[in-house]
Chains A and B, each alone.
Chain A
Amino acid sequence: MTEIPNPNQILDVDPLMMDLLLDHYKHPHNFGPLPGADIVHEEGNPSCGDQMRMALKTHDGLIQDIKFEGKGCIISQAAASILTDLMKGESLERVKEFTKDDMLENLGIPIGPMRLKCALLALKVLKSGVYGQAHWPGEEEDE
């Protein structure tokens, strides 16, 4: 009645499985604790149980180092890995300017509505930490 499909076909058709994201997931960049951090923020995504902590070392409004910790799915973990790469060495102002669309664009795959929260968890945690509040301006827009 049914045959088991060839997994390689699935790799080809499923953008989720793109090598880049899988690589970020299996070998995340900037992962681990950051002793001496001056901005630390942690939040979860209750719908999937994911938890993420962002830690930043800043000086004169510049991000000298940034690391994340937590557990989650490919999309949330890869997003954190990519986002921390992008923000290292940037200014806190740059974090504030960085939009949801910027985040999605940097993931490089189409994100459906069911996985949007996964894709944006890292940005939410980082922005909340930088703004020092649970919700940043414009967070609820077009959700």
Chain B
Amino acid sequence: MTESALRVAPNGFDVEAVRRDFPILERRVHDHPLIYMDNAATTQRPRQVVDAMVSYFTEYNANIHRAIHTLGYEATVAYEDAHKKVARFINAKSWREIVFVRNATEALNLVAMSWGQANLRAGDEVVVSLMEHHSDIVPWQMLRDRLGIVLKFIPVTPQGTLDLEAARRLITTRTRLVGLVHASNVLGVINPVEEIRAMAKEVGALLLLDGAQSIPHLPVDVQALGCDFFVASGHKMLGPTGIGFLYGRKALLQEMPPFLTGGDMIATVTTEGATWNELPWKFEAGTSAIAEGIGLGAAVDYLSSIGMGNVYQYEKELEHYTLERLNNCPWLTLYGHLAGDHLAVFSFNVEGAHPHDAANLLDRFAIAVRSGHHCAQPLMTHLGMDNTLRASLYLYNTRAEVEVLLGALQEVRKLLVR
């Protein structure tokens, strides 16, 4: 790793040192310093990630797996190493359990179309939660319409936590898979995986975790979590867009049919048919996003060098601080954050101000937040939420930035509230 990351003390967290690794944080917008709080949508990239990708392009750009020449060898090793880095990062037993895909959405589609299509029969149940991102709902709805499976939703309590009592009733002996978002992109709540895993295992169902929001912020150990599948997106964890991964237990991946087919995923092809390549290449058809995969590896290196425990600890403090400040504003409606453990993700509204207008005005303060339904319409409907503003913080955000946000929200209120 580079010098600045090494300067971070092993049991401490130096946010100013971290910030220096992100050139974009020097940017000014409308003549104010950028305050980036849209990290649940996509994060920024440290120069270590950018440098790793540039180095592939400028020093050893070649296709992987096929070429005998030096550049091809170097690219192949770097791309495979990226799989190994991700495997270590989440404590997978083998790097062959890591399949690179475009993003978490594609990984979820892969599980539904490959595992689901091959293993589910009419009447079988898939149970997901009402907190899911659309990407863990729509693929199962497609399968429901195609195969006649039953799709059930675990509701959310008025406190914004998973309704475990209802989950106990909904997960039955007919349930084949439970799909759960590890942490909600709307409420920030971290779901109780252990309880849900116990319910799933009791009935012999698989457990799929959507870790798109969790893995950027907390230590993930797939063996300790006891999940069968885990999906994530690179661009939400300091990596580039266009790359994400599926973790699957080896025994499952080996039995699953390919998702996309064609080049690189085969062992042999004749005019009669084909046999499949070994894992994970069986699921990586066509030329991969090589630079992006290498970039994801660099992002994992970067996070590892800081230590996910340190990241979690720092963000936890930031979450407590922000929560207290937001709760001090009676004119602000905050959703969730009433019970359970949370990421520093806050959905809220300034009473009387439309979230689009508020986001527009916050942008004038160079504050980037999201406004809308956050690709989780069933959750918003269930909790009776209108569209909201969402501030999602990450390891480079500071208390000082939270103060600027609060001041700007006061201005929003003065200007927009009728």
- A1 B361 Cβ-Cβ under 8 A: no
Q: Report yes or no: A74 in contact with B354, Cβ–Cβ below 8 A.
A: yes
Q: Are B408 and A4 in contact (CB under 8 A)?
A: yes
A49 to B372, CA, bound (A): 8
Instruction: State whether A25 touches B404 (Cβ < 8 A).
Output: no
Flag whether B400 is at the interface (Cβ < 8 A).
yes
Q: Which residues of A1-47 have CB atoms within 8 Å of chain B's CB atoms?
A: 1-5, 7, 10-11, 13-14, 16-17, 22, 25-26, 47
Look across to chain B and name the residue whose beta carbon is closest to the beta carbon of A27: B418
Number of chain A interface residues as a range: 20 to 34
Contact partners of A14 in chain B: CB under 8 A: 360-361, 364
A16-B398 in contact (CB<8A): no
Decide yes or no whether A134 CB sits under 8 A from chain B.
no
Contact (Cβ within 8 A) A4 B387? no
Q: Is A118 an interface residue (CB 8 A)?
A: yes
- For chain B, which range describes its interface: under 10, 10 to 19, 20 to 34, or 35 or more residues? 20 to 34
- Quick one: which of B12-35 are within 8 Å of A by CB? 30, 32-33, 35
Q: Are A2 and B354 also in contact (CB < 8 A) when A10-B365, A25-B418, A47-B372 are?
A: no
Q: Which residues of chain A are within 8 angstroms of B32 by Cβ–Cβ distance?
A: 2, 5
The chain A residue with its CB closest to the CB of B418 is A26
Which are the 7 A-B pairs with shortest beta-carbon distances? A73-B354, A4-B407, A49-B387, A73-B356, A7-B411, A10-B364, A73-B357
Which residues from chain A sit less than 8 Å from chain B, CB to CB?
1-5, 7, 10-11, 13-14, 16-17, 22, 25-26, 47-50, 71-75, 115, 118
A-B contact sample (5 more), CB < 8 A, given A7-B414, A75-B356, A115-B360: A2-B401, A5-B365, A10-B411, A17-B415, A48-B371
B residues whose Cβ falls under 8 Å from a Cβ of A: 30, 32-33, 35, 354-357, 360-361, 364-365, 371-373, 386-387, 398, 400-401, 404, 407-408, 411, 414-416, 418
